[in-house]
Amino acid sequence: MKARAFALFETAIGSMAIAWGSRGVVAVRLPEADAMALRARMVRRFPDAREELAPPGVDLAVRDMTRLIAGERVDLCRIAIDMADVPEFNARVYAAARAIPPGETRTYGEVAEAIGDRTAARAVGAALGANPFPVIVPCHRVLAANGRSGGFSARGGVATKMRLLAIEQARIGSSPTLFDEFGGLPLAVGS
């Protein structure tokens, strides 16, 4: 995928990056060790792109992702993503993952069933592992069978996945979340 430009932006989980081209967002990167490492990764991945301020449509995507990661219920389906270079199978998986609302999860098997091939759970996992649009395509909302976390390819691995799910107050399996226990409000430290 070709990116015309990229920008870094701050979120509740650290600096993230977004790259875009003429047809929409071509990549999102979750936090690296620091902003310099993130910038270096973007330059390696998109050597012809320049760092600049996000234009209005991309700026809206940045604001929506920032709000979602801050705990607001935000639907990111309106964000245009450029899947021209994404394999057709992966595009179907990404469309199914985008349909999972914040705070909800599905299993790899359920996503496979949603795209019409209930035997493709492992292939779904591989497609999500190659997801160039994390958060916009919420691969963190897809879990292994029986509520197990499954993998996560971003820095921090499964801990990052679980942090994103906790921010969204997602229920994993049938057990209540901390937020359910206390009327939907997180406890303040020292309470």
**Distance of alpha carbon 101 from alpha carbon 104, whole angstroms:** 6
For tokens 């399996």, the residue is 173
Q: Is 77 among the catalytic positions?
A: no
Say which of 61, 111, 120, 139 is annotated catalytic.
139
With residue 126 as reference, give the H or E element that holds it: helix 121-129
Q: Do 62 and 7 contact (CB within 8 A), yes or no?
A: yes
Other Cβ atoms within 10 Å of 46 Cβ, number = 21
171 closest CA partner among 182, 160, 179, 159: 179
DSSP states of 68-108 as a string?
HHTT-----TTS-B--TTS-HHHHHHHHHHHTSPTT--EEH
Question: Catalytic residues, which ones?
Answer: 139
